[in-house]
Every structure is written in structure tokens, then in C-alpha cells.
């Protein structure tokens, strides 16, 4: 068998072959334009940033980083350093109260007597939830509220609350728990939910109550007074506030030890709190976590960011949030910039060609 002869190059085929070879060489050796801005895995071309001032590019970088956190459900991790700082601040408040009480020679007998006049409560609640976050459309919210209204009518007609919660509540796991929540204290739940629960007597059912998560119907199962030992730091701070300014007392304590500035005084005070065995009650830690969660939720709802977005959707969404002229969006963009340190700690923000990370 004779081999197939190579193709013959003629005058008519040579120009075409040259164009093909030139294209192949260009695609193999040429380089595309580098991105003008990258935030983690998201990049923007110079054309996309055309006309944006440095401050607007900064804002776009911050929006992109926050959208990344929303997309992969890591807003909790994003806020962890801030929650830790808030918790330390709360611990210093507890230390300041202790120092104030010591200076006034106020003992636990006085604190306990004061506590019994206005105790802390731990509530056990069942609830039925119909999800409809506040960023949802008016039609979606109206439908959820109507569901809650029908459930309420059924309960008033004698339906069993536990069985109704198991059948209707949209909270994950509600069927198995029949709507029963872990006992909570003030700060454990969002304020509207806590207020509705606190207003009930055991066995009573609340009106339909709206929170940021949707529409709830609550039934109070039980209420118990939190033991004084567990609530001591709360009442100690309340009494100390009546005696004067605990912050000034703490500042004086740091001044005496040569640590008036934040860099030296704060670590010394935190070490003293640890030495005394002081701690922030878990309910207050939960409250601080929820403060950040609420803030992150408000940002994501205002900017229109969604879980599960691709990098292309994140870039488009961040650009849309940057150009949105609404007043609430503008205010939220400015507020987001105050949390830039959290963003820088989690996402690399780079301008190719510059020697270091983009700084605010």
C-alpha cells in the first residue's frame, strides 16, 4: 500500500494556510489582558472598571468580598473576629462592674436581694414558623402570613399545637421536635420573638408574630427563674451602673498599672478578668453572634446577594449593588466599608501590577 502523499501547497492555498498558522501562533503565544482587580476568585477587566474612581473601586472590592461570603454561606466565619472583639468588650464591662462593686463594698447579699425584685427568665417555647424573610416579595410575605392565619384559626378551633407544628411548621426538624425549641433566655432569640414569648403564661398561644425569618405562632410551655449564680454578672452590671461610671473605674485601674493606652491596658485588663474567673454568659455570646448575623442578613438583603452564586453572578451582582442609587443601598455600602478589616483578613484584594494588597 502506497502512503498518502502530503497535501500540495499551491499559490491558491498558501495565503489560507498562512492565516491559519498565524492565528494558531497568536492564540498559543499571545496573552489576554490581565484583570484590573481581583477579589478572591472574582476578577474584573479594565473595561468593567472604566470610569470608576479609586473610592468606587474600593467599594466594589468590599461588595464583591461580602457577596463571596454570602454565596458560600461563610458570613458567620467572616464575622468571627468581630464577635471575638465584642465578647472581649463585654468581658471588660463585667470586670469594670466588679471593680466598681468592690470599691463600694457591695456584696452578693445586696445583689441577690436586688435580683429577686426583677429576675431573669428561661422560657421553653413551641412555635410554628412560616418562612418569609423580609427581603421576599410582597406576594410571598402575604402568602406566608395567610398560612399563619389559617393555622391560627385551626388552633383556635381546638387543634393540638404540637401536632399542628409537626404538620405545618416550615422550620427544619420541626416535625420530629413538634416545634419545641431549646429553652432560651433574653438574647437567645430575636427581640420580637422574645417579647412575644415573655408576654405569655404557660399554655398560652401568642398572636401571629413577624420576625426577620417569617411569621410565627408561639406557645409557652414553661418559664423558670434563672438561678442567681448564673445571672450574677447581669445584676452586678445593673447595680454598678447605679453607683457611677464603671468605665471610669476600669480606666483608673489601668492607669494605676501603667497601661492607660489600649495596646497595654486592654491585655492587662483581660488577663485580670481571666484571673478572677470572669466570663461572658453564653446567652450574651449568642446575642452578639445574632447581632452580626442580623447585620449580615440586612446587608445581603439590601444588596440582593444570594447563596450559591457563581463567580460571574457575584461580579454582576456587586456591580449592580455599586450602581444602585437607592438611599438604603448607599448607606449600607458606607456601613460595609467600616468592616473592611474583616474583609481584608479573609479575601485577598489585588490590583495586578501593584506591589501589595489593595488598601482602603
Q: How confident is the prediction along the chain (360 residues), in pLDDT tens digits per residue?
A: 444 344 443 444 444 443 333 333 333 444 467 899 999 999 999 999 999 999 999 999 999 999 999 999 999 999 999 999 999 999 999 999 999 999 999 999 999 999 999 899 999 999 999 999 877 888 999 999 999 999 999 999 999 999 999 999 998 888 899 999 999 998 889 899 999 999 999 999 999 999 989 999 999 999 999 999 999 999 999 999 999 999 999 999 998 887 666 677 899 999 999 999 999 998 889 889 989 988 998 899 899 999 999 999 999 999 999 999 999 999 999 999 999 999 999 999 987 655 444 444
- Give the span between the Cα atoms of 246 and 217, in whole angstroms: 41
Backbone angles phi, psi at 38, to 5 degrees: -130, 140
> What is the pLDDT at residue 33?
76
- Residue listed under C-alpha cell 462593686: 101
The helix (run of H) or strand (run of E) holding residue 214 is strand 214-225
Check residue 257 and report its DSSP letter. T
> What is the pLDDT at residue 12?
42
Q: 3-class SS at 72?
A: coil
Q: Number of helices (H) and strands (E), helices first, in the chain?
A: 15, 7
State the CB neighbour count (10 A cutoff) for residue 310. Answer: 11
Residue 199 exposure: Cα atoms within 13 Å on the Cβ side: 11
Give CA separation, 137 vs 134, 140, 218, in Å.
8, 5, 24
Of the candidates 185, 181, 207, 183, the one whose C-alpha atom is nearest the C-alpha of residue 196 is 207
CATH 3.10.50.40 residue window(s) in the chain: 121-225
Report yes or no: 336 and 62 within 8 Å, Cβ to Cβ: yes
CATH level 3 topology of 121-225: Chitinase A; domain 3 (3.10.50)
> What is the pLDDT at residue 261?
66
> What is the pLDDT at residue 351?
73
Amino acid at each position: 500500500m502506497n502512503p498518502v502523499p502530503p497535501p500540495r501547497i499551491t499559490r491558491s492555498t498558501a495565503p489560507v494556510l498562512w492565516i491559519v498558522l498565524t492565528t494558531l501562533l497568536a492564540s498559543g503565544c499571545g496573552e489576554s489582558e490581565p484583570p484590573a482587580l481581583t477579589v478572591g476568585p472574582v476578577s474584573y477587566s479594565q473595561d468593567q472598571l472604566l470610569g470608576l474612581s479609586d473610592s468606587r473601586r474600593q467599594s466594589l472590592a468590599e461588595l464583591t468580598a461580602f457577596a463571596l461570603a454570602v454565596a458560600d454561606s461563610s458570613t458567620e466565619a467572616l464575622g468571627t473576629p468581630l464577635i471575638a472583639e465584642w465578647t472581649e468588650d463585654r468581658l471588660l464591662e463585667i470586670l469594670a462592674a466588679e471593680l466598681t462593686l468592690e470599691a463600694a463594698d457591695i456584696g452578693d447579699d445586696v445583689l441577690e436581694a436586688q435580683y429577686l425584685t426583677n429576675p431573669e427568665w428561661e422560657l421553653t417555647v413551641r412555635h410554628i414558623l412560616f418562612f418569609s424573610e423580609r427581603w421576599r416579595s410582597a406576594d410571598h410575605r402575604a402568602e406566608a402570613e395567610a398560612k399563619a392565619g389559617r393555622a391560627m384559626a385551626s388552633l383556635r378551633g381546638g387543634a393540638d399545637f404540637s401536632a399542628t407544628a409537626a404538620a405545618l411548621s416550615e422550620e427544619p426538624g420541626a416535625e420530629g421536635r413538634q416545634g419545641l425549641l431549646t429553652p432560651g433566655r433574653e438574647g437567645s432569640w430575636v427581640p420580637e420573638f422574645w417579647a412575644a414569648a415573655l408576654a405569655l403564661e404557660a399554655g398560652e398561644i401568642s398572636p401571629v408574630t413577624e420576625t426577620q425569618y417569617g411569621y410565627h405562632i408561639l406557645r409557652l410551655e414553661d418559664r423558670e427563674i434563672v438561678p442567681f449564680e448564673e445571672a450574677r454578672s447581669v445584676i452586678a452590671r445593673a447595680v454598678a451602673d447605679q453607683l457611677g461610671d464603671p468605665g471610669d473605674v476600669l480606666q483608673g485601674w489601668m492607669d494605676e498599672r501603667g497601661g492607660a493606652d489600649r495596646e497595654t491596658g486592654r491585655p492587662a485588663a483581660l488577663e485580670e478578668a481571666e484571673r478572677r474567673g470572669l466570663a461572658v454568659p453564653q446567652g450574651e455570646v449568642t446575642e452578639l453572634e445574632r447581632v452580626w448575623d442580623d447585620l449580615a442578613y440586612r446587608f445581603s438583603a439590601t444588596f440582593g446577594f444570594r447563596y450559591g452564586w457563581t463567580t460571574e453572578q457575584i461580579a454582576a451582582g456587586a456591580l449592580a449593588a455599586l450602581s444602585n442609587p437607592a438611599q438604603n443601598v448607599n448607606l449600607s455600602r458606607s456601613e460595609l466599608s467600616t468592616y473592611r478589616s474583616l474583609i481584608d483578613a479573609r479575601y485577598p484584594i489585588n490590583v495586578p501590577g501593584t506591589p501589595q494588597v489593595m488598601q482602603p
